[in-house]
Amino acid sequence: MNMNLISKRIRGMQDLLPPMSEIWNSVEEVLKSEASVYGFKLIRTPVLENTELFQRSAGDESDVVQKEMYTFDDKGGRSVSLRPEGTVGVVRAVLENGLHNGALPLKLMYVSSCYRYEKPQAGRLREFFQFGAEVFGTESALADAELIMLGDSIFNRLGIKDVSLQINSIGCSECRKKYIDAIKKYFEIHKDDLCETCRERLAKNPMRIFDCKSSVCQGICKDAPVILDYICDDCKEHFENLKKYLSDAKIPFSVNPSIVRGLDYYSRTVFEFVYSGGETPITVCGGGRYDGLAEDLSGTSLPALGFGVGIERLLMIMENQKLNPSEKNSPAVFIACADDTARSFSLELAQKLRQNSINALADISEKRVKHQMKYADKIGAQYVLVIGSDEFETRKAKIRNMHSGENKEISLDDDFVSDFINIVLGNSQN
């Protein structure tokens, strides 16, 4: 490491380097391709928004607004903030650009960097990335079920095990008024035992006490009133329908009355996909309904729901389970040159493979074959093709499987690509 740098990486930020960047890219592609099958279209929103957008949506008293947002005045004197999460910017974009006036339901997905000034920890940095899926324009529990099905499909597609679905309903605003009164009375009794943060939450938003990581506060929460006992008939019917749809779709779930989500805009359905394969459970995907958010921001009634997947947490779990989706891509081929005769020819062959979506590299260092082979091994090339004067003249060469050591002869003429696909890839896929 160069210790003479005038500046180093800011705490809580990260450099994404190969080979992790390749795995990251493969995971993103899986997330986006799986969502596209469900009809989601890609949206990108600015990393900077007016601060009032987050204050209005998350709540002035929330931890996100009070303690965690990166907020500053720009050169025009306007208060702006780096987005702390992805949903609100998407809602703003939908309303501002009139997307809600088109065909509904509307399904949008995104991959966004988010920023919160929190203590850096495993799976959560101050700059972190979310994959999000949002649905606008339907109140039906069918939409809730389908969104959860997408989350389940993503984990299955990536091959991740030990992930379970937990669901709850936090009712509508009228339900929560009664519930908040009940838990205020309950937590007041235990006020002296709560941590300092939760004593503040008790005065501002007592539902957030359920999010506390303190073992003492968690113990107190276990005997607190359950929100499902306070939801109205309409919210109860919505939740029962969701459970039926999930059961019919063979999606296993458990009801966890403690799930409340950390932001003010959620209503009715809330859910989490929780990984339990490590020392402590990790929420890798969380979401729910936010039917009133659009109305709070613009006066426009637009029911909506969505979820966010923490990509760093996802990758951390996949690393623990030794899952690497990038290995499922077309095998990497390195074309080495034994002499000057074949240098241009090797680039030509590599380009033919690339034009057929096959990952191919050719020597561009002009080093000796011995060094080229070491390089191919270091970068994890699965196949190596060595070309010299003889191979150039005969238009035939041996290709070596670097894992098994097996050699196969393939044509370097017009049949090169088809030979490679049929003889090499065809054999590897059997």
Can you tell me the distance from the alpha carbon of 47 to that of 424, in angstroms, rounded to the nearest whole number? Answer: 45
Indicate the residue among 320, 340, 369 that finishes a domain. 320
- The answer to whether residues 276 and 392 belong to one domain is no
- Provide the CATH number for the domain around residue 352: 3.40.50.800
Looking at residue 330, its pLDDT comes to 47
Q: Put the strands of the sheet holding 282-289 in their side by side order.
A: 41-42, 106-115, 127-136, 304-310, 282-289, 267-275, 163-169, 254-255
- Provide the CATH number for the domain around residue 262: 3.30.930.10
Q: Which residues contact 162 (CB under 8 A, 6 or more apart)?
A: 275, 276, 277, 321
Can you tell me the distance from the alpha carbon of 415 to that of 22, in angstroms, rounded to the nearest whole number? Answer: 30
**Stretch 144-151: mean pLDDT:** 95
127/204: higher pLDDT: 127
Tell me the pLDDT band of 428, cut-offs 50, 70 and 90. Answer: low
Please report the DSSP string for 14-38 in residue order: ----TTHHHHHHHHHHHHHHHHHHT
Can you tell me the distance from the alpha carbon of 161 to that of 317, in angstroms, rounded to the nearest whole number? Answer: 9
Q: Is residue 269 part of a domain?
A: yes
Domains in the chain, number: 2
- The answer to whether residues 342 and 379 belong to one domain is yes
Indicate the residue among 290, 320, 350 that finishes a domain. 320
Q: Is residue 88 part of a domain?
A: yes
- The answer to whether residues 99 and 56 belong to one domain is yes
Residue identified by tokens 């607004």 is 65
Q: What is the pTM of this model?
A: 0.81
Q: Which residues contact 113 (CB under 8 A, 6 or more apart)?
A: 47, 127, 128, 129
The β-bridge partners of 106 are 136
Structure tokens at 63: 């931890």
Of 61-65, 232-236, 319-323, 351-355, the range with the lowest mean pLDDT is: 61-65
Can you tell me the distance from the alpha carbon of 355 to that of 352, in angstroms, rounded to the nearest whole number? Answer: 5
Can you tell me the distance from the alpha carbon of 132 to that of 307, in angstroms, rounded to the nearest whole number? Answer: 6
Which run of H or E residues covers position 148? helix 141-158
**Stretch 414-430: mean pLDDT:** 77
Top-confidence range, 53-67, 77-91, 325-339: 77-91
Q: Is residue 64 part of a domain?
A: yes
Can you tell me the distance from the alpha carbon of 181 to that of 205, in angstroms, rounded to the nearest whole number? Answer: 11
Q: Is residue 8 part of a domain?
A: no
- The answer to whether residues 244 and 387 belong to one domain is no
- The torsion angles phi and psi of 319, rounded to 5 degrees, stand at -65, -40
Does the structure show a pLDDT above 90 at 232? yes
- The answer to whether residues 27 and 102 belong to one domain is yes
Can you tell me the distance from the alpha carbon of 63 to that of 179, in angstroms, rounded to the nearest whole number? Answer: 21
Q: Is residue 336 part of a domain?
A: yes
Mean pLDDT of the chain, nearest integer: 88
Looking at residue 59, its pLDDT comes to 58
202/76: higher pLDDT: 76
- The answer to whether residues 294 and 334 belong to one domain is no
Q: Is residue 299 part of a domain?
A: yes
- The answer to whether residues 287 and 352 belong to one domain is no
Structure tokens at 176: 């929560």
Does the structure show a pLDDT above 90 at 268? yes
Indicate the residue among 295, 320, 345 that finishes a domain. 320
Contact in structure between 139 and 111 (CB atoms under 8 Å): no
Can you tell me the distance from the alpha carbon of 394 to that of 388, in angstroms, rounded to the nearest whole number? Answer: 10
Q: Is residue 11 part of a domain?
A: no
263/302: higher pLDDT: 302
Can you tell me the distance from the alpha carbon of 13 to that of 125, in angstroms, rounded to the nearest whole number? Answer: 6
Looking at residue 60, its pLDDT comes to 53
- The answer to whether residues 101 and 141 belong to one domain is yes
- The answer to whether residues 282 and 334 belong to one domain is no
The β-bridge partners of 309 are 131, 285
- The answer to whether residues 162 and 48 belong to one domain is yes
308/377: higher pLDDT: 308
3-state secondary structure 47-62: CEEEHHHHHHHHCCCC
**Stretch 307-312: mean pLDDT:** 95
65/107: higher pLDDT: 107
Report the candidate in 389, 393, 390, 385 with the shortest Cα–Cα distance to residue 417.
385
- The answer to whether residues 313 and 371 belong to one domain is no
**Stretch 250-279: mean pLDDT:** 86
Can you tell me the distance from the alpha carbon of 119 to that of 68, in angstroms, rounded to the nearest whole number? Answer: 10
Can you tell me the distance from the alpha carbon of 64 to that of 85, in angstroms, rounded to the nearest whole number? Answer: 10
Q: Is residue 384 part of a domain?
A: yes
Does the structure show a pLDDT above 50 at 222? yes
- The answer to whether residues 381 and 235 belong to one domain is no
The range of the structural domain enclosing residue 400 comes to 330-428
Does the structure show a pLDDT above 60 at 392? yes
